[in-house]
Structure formats: structure tokens, C-alpha cells
Chains A and B, each alone.
Chain A
Amino acid sequence: MEPTFRILPVLENKKLGPYHKITLKDAQIYKCAECGNFIMIGLQGFDPYLHRPFSFLEVNRGSFSILLKIKGRGTELLSKVKKGDKLKVLGPLGKTFCPPENGVLIAGGIGIAPVYYQSGWMKGGILFYGAKVRKDLILTREFKEKGFKVRTISEEDGGLVTDLLKKHNDELNGKQIFICGTNEMIKNIKRILNKEQIDKTYVYMEKRMGCGLGGCKSCAVDTFKGYKLVCTEGPIFPLKEVKFD
């Protein structure tokens, strides 16, 4: 589907764990958004000047939502939108992919958003999910309802997602694996996986983005095949292709 640029109204902005779940009113995106797609969202005017890329969280008839974590000035301003405010929306963007019916999803913190969106195309599997504190672990009930086995851990409980993976490594065998988390987390996971598992693993990458359409070449990911752009060649990349240092 071809992306469009439109001004859409906010239906709801509510807290979900430590994040903001922002829902926009729209009757087009659901017809065309596919697994792997993301969207650029911006406030009207010049402050902030750039849009921010977001994974879809949910796409429904008549609306879609994103999950926002305040990281800087731009996301702080975006977090304050209220029902009825209008936002600039460019999308759907990114390279789509066909997820397996059953697979392994690994998320750290807000990395839950794209894997949650991806789970909508799957029949089940296992979710490994880590966060700083227990109450930050959101959407676990929804994953279970979708037929996923959910394994969670928090730093508060003294563990990282890598500890879960070490303990249940055999559950990864033969499955396609999708990771969304910090570079640090992905690097540590890569150390745990065996070659066969690495070959079946894909990572969601995030970079500062200018345009979302391959124009500005800002969102480059360093890979063993040279720089690749998150916006047009991602957001997912094979784990074995990405350089993390």
C-alpha cells in the first residue's frame, strides 16, 4: 500500500504502564497496514520540527494506536496531546514481512509495541518480556488471550530477559525469533543464541529518522552489507546482518 500524509484527530491519550497509548481516528490505515509497517507522527507547526517514527500498537477499523515513551523534548510535547488535537501522520511506512504462525517474540521495555502488533498476525508462540519494574510489564493478559505463552522478568525481581532465555533456551529451537529492545539487550541475546537460532532471528531496529521515505539517509543501520536504512529497508533486519559495535 502506498503511504499517505494526512492530518488526523486524537481519539484518546491514556497511560499504559509507564507509557502513553495514543489512539488516532482513521478509517484508512486498517485497510492497508501490514506486519512490519510503522508510522511517522508529528505535531502541527515547527516545534518539534520533525516527525517521530512509531510502531503501530493496534490497528482497528476506524482507529489505530501507538505507544509513546518520553525520551526527549519531542516525545514530551507529543505526550501532551489531548482528545480532538490533530496530528500529522505519514504512513504506513517500512518493509512489510510475513510472520510465522507460531514463533518467539522477545521484548524489552517499550519494545513490546511492535511485537504486540506483530502478534496480531500470529496464532501463538512464546513471549519473553523484560522490563525495569514489574508494573511496567504491560499487555501480558492480551498476549495470553492471543494464545501466547508469556514469560516475564523485571530488574526489580533481579533478572534480565537474557536470564529467561538462558533458562528456557530449548524453547527457541526451530522457531523464528523476533527481538525488539535496546542494542545492549540484543547484543547480549546474540551471545546466548547458537548459530542455528541466530540464523532464524530478526531484530526491530530504531534510529533517529528524518523523513521515513528514504530521502534523508539519516536512519542508517550498520550491517555487514554496508549501511541500510531503517525506513525503507527495515524496520526488521536479520540479526546476523547487523553490526552492534
Chain B
Amino acid sequence: MIDLSTKFGSVELKNPVLLASGVWDLPYTKIIDFKRLGGVICKGVSLKPKEGNPTPRITETPCGLINSIGLENKGLLNFECEILPELKKLGTHVFVNIFGESIEEFRKVASKIKEVAGLEVNISCPNVSRGGDKFARDPKMVFSITKAVCEETELPVIVKLTPSIENIEETAQAAKEGGAMAVTASNTFPGLVIDIERKKPLFKRITGGLSGPAIKPLALYNVYKIKNAVDIPIIGSGGIADYRDVLEYLIAGASAVQLGSIIFNNPLAPIEILDNLEYWMIEKGYKNLKDVNKK
């Protein structure tokens, strides 16, 4: 029997494969067997409903995509009444991604969410004009928001960091000092697409967030940098498309990983990755995830 379970802080997952925030919604239960997953992170929740950015909101890039969704969601009240009860039926660990335009908003949202596996604090969305990744670029702000959220909740707190700074170790350290149980490294990378017909940027907000296999080496490097500088569990995220990518993240120092846009390319990828991870462990004669790092 292969044991894929992973433990970090107070969180115990049956395997290290999580679905990232912002790529899935409940209709995916028709395709993916959610009970097989280590957990899921739901779409970002803000205090008030947020209508999101004008279209176009997405475009393909080589080995990936750029999005400018703008955190569309129906707000905290709708989340508590309509969405959360459904998420609790998924049969897997549910982490709730929260965001705010101010420390006060983060506090309010964090204080209301109960009975889930944890909170993922989104301070790193590149597609909103207020808050967003401006927070994650400033270690002082990372510390203050993390501390505020931790004061409001007893749930494990994970802070989702931005990749678009030189020293992600500094913001990881700030999250740790603020009381975070873990960090997610990292969010999408800011990027630009030009519409050659209109001869201007495709997105109304100019830039979008790049994800997909194209960013894997960059995000992986962020995990490696944090691992070697800060003693905090890391959830690796960025461009995972294959079980070998998961292994790279685990070896670089991640305790778990998030799958994102790959489910647009192959909705069954999470299940295929879990199956192939297990085959690989059998072939190697490994019994549990700790063996992955065996030399």
C-alpha cells in the first residue's frame, strides 16, 4: 500500500494534490472524482460581490494562458449561504481563498469562515486595481495582513505569494512572522498580450496573469528559494501538468502542490497525476512521500 499522505503544520492531507483557486467550480464534480484529491482551494471570496473585469478575460499563450478575470465572485454572504454547504459535500479538504482591498476587509472575511480545512490568503492577484499583488510585494503589508487574518481565525492560514518580486524569501519570512502556517508559491506572473488588429493590449487592464507549463521552472525556483531560506511549509503552484512536475516540486521542498490551468487542457489531469505518482512510487519501491527525497 502506497501512502501518499502529507502533513504540514496542523494540516493532514491524504495526498499532496490540491486544486488551485480560480480554475474550478462545482460543475467539475461531473468530471473529476473530488474524493481522490488531497484537497481543493475555492475561488477567492471577498466581503462584497465583485463583478470582475471586462472581456476578453483569457487568451492562450505558448504552453499556457494569460487571464484577467479580476476575482469575480458573489461575495461573502452568498458564499456562506450558497457555496460553502456545497463545498462541504465534496468529500475532500476545502481551503477557502479570501481576499480584500484592505486589512479590515481581510479581517471581516476571515472572521466569518468556519468549519473548513483552512484559509488561503490571496494577497497576490495581479488582475485587480485595489489590493491584489501590491500587498504581496511589500513584506510589511504581508506581515500585517497575515497577522490580522490569524487574529480573526483559528483555522490554519496559508498565504499565497506573488512571484513578481526579486526576493520571495522576504515575503515568505514576513508571512511566517505574521503567523502563517504555510505559504503558496506562487501566484500567476504578470504578462502582456498585444492585439495586433487593434494595435493595443488585448486586456482592458493591460496586463494579465500568466499560468501553465510555461511558468513551471520559474515557480519551482520560488519554492526552492523559500525552502532554502525560511522554515515554513510550502505549497508549490505553477505549471504542473504531469506527475513528474509534482515530484520536482516535492523534491524542491514543497509539502503539497496545487494544480491550476492544466485542468482546462485535461480535466482528468489531477486523477492521472495521482495514478502515475503511485505507479512511480511502486516502481521505485517507495512506501511514502518521505521516500521521494531519498538519495
Q: Are B263 and A218 in contact (CB under 8 A)?
A: no
A74 CA / B65 CA spacing, docked (Å): 13
Q: Contacts A217-B52, A217-B57 known; A46 to B63 CB distance under 8 Å? A: yes
Q: Does A114 contact B (CB under 8 A)?
A: no
A220 CA / B73 CA spacing, docked (Å): 12
Q: Are A213 and B57 in contact (CB under 8 A)?
A: no
List, in ascending order, chain A residues with CB within 8 A of B24's CB.
Answer: 211, 213, 215
Q: Which of B26-34, B111-119, B159-167, B218-226 binds A? A: B26-34
Q: Are A213 and B55 in contact (CB under 8 A)?
A: no
Specify the main secondary structure of chain B where it touches its partner.
Answer: loop
Mark interface residues in B245-276 (1 if CB within 8 Å of A CB, else 0): 00000000000000001011111100000000
Q: Does B207 contact A (CB under 8 A)?
A: no
A157 CA / B213 CA spacing, docked (Å): 49
Q: Contacts A5-B268, A218-B58, A227-B51 known; A211 to B65 CB distance under 8 Å? A: no
Q: Are B266 and A213 in contact (CB under 8 A)?
A: no
Q: Are B213 and A222 in contact (CB under 8 A)?
A: no
Q: Does A88 contact B (CB under 8 A)?
A: yes
Least Cβ–Cβ distance between A67 and chain B, in angstroms: 21
Q: Are B51 and A49 in contact (CB under 8 A)?
A: no
A171 CA / B52 CA spacing, docked (Å): 40
Q: Are B213 and A46 in contact (CB under 8 A)?
A: yes
- Most chain A beta-carbon neighbours within 10 Å: one of B59, B67, B212, B266: B266
Q: Are B62 and A47 in contact (CB under 8 A)?
A: yes
List, in ascending order, chain B residues with CB within 8 A of A46's CB.
Answer: 63, 212-213, 241, 265
List, in ascending order, chain A residues with CB within 8 A of B43's CB.
Answer: 217
Q: Are A49 and B267 in contact (CB under 8 A)?
A: no
Q: Are B57 and A220 in contact (CB under 8 A)?
A: yes
Q: Does B69 contact A (CB under 8 A)?
A: yes
Least Cβ–Cβ distance between A7 and chain B, in angstroms: 10
Q: Does A195 contact B (CB under 8 A)?
A: no
- Most chain A beta-carbon neighbours within 10 Å: one of B43, B60, B241, B264: B264
Q: Does A31 contact B (CB under 8 A)?
A: no
Q: Does A39 contact B (CB under 8 A)?
A: no
Q: Are A213 and B67 in contact (CB under 8 A)?
A: no
- Closest chain A residue to B24 by CB distance? A215
- Closest chain B residue to A218 by CB distance? B58
Q: Does A17 contact B (CB under 8 A)?
A: no
With A47-B62, A210-B58, A211-B264 known, 4 other A-B pairs at CB within 8 A are A207-B55, A208-B55, A214-B25, A215-B263
Please give the residue numbers on chain A whose beta carbons come within 8 Å of chain B beta carbons, in ascending order: 2-5, 42, 46-51, 73-74, 88, 90, 207-211, 213-222, 226-227, 232
Nearest 8 A/B pairs, CB to CB: A218-B58, A213-B27, A215-B24, A214-B25, A218-B57, A215-B25, A2-B30, A217-B72
- What are 17 A-B contacts defined by CB distance under 8 Å? A42-B265, A46-B63, A46-B265, A47-B63, A49-B60, A50-B60, A51-B264, A90-B31, A208-B59, A210-B58, A218-B56, A218-B57, A220-B55, A220-B57, A221-B55, A226-B51, A232-B27
